[in-house]
Structure 1
């Protein structure tokens, strides 16, 4: 999971960037099972949370590199983000249900 914050005034443009650049980049990596970008507007800022599911740790490394905890940023992120959190969080899925 990755978290980022933009000014509210740039949130729509950042959403478009994520849809057109980041999501396809995640999906292009073999072993990426899903990617979801969550958005929460809060006053003058907007929070984004990217949640991905992967087949294996090796698949994550193919996307992120050898340091699995280090956040991956795109050059375009400098146009939107207020800060650059250095780390992501990893969790193991222990329960899951699909919609019927």
Structure 2
């Protein structure tokens, strides 16, 4: 058993909500950069919520973004550079 499995659900839920609120606040942190550094982004987090909750991906992502993904993308997402895409591909390869 991983120590994380022993974490109180209330504490885990509060930490998760804090993470989501932080990501909502830091709209300047682009998903492609998150993927390049950590191998996951807001979409991944929303997809994990959807899988855990048995709901459609769009619903999970909307919970994370605080709005429909298409709206967030139009407001905040910039065009990815070739360098960002290369870093993302290298980082995602480590997830396997």
Give the alignment's TM-score, normalised by structure 2: 0.30
Q: Which has the higher strand share?
A: 1
**Structure with greater proportional helix content:** 2
Length-normalised TM-score, structure 1: 0.29
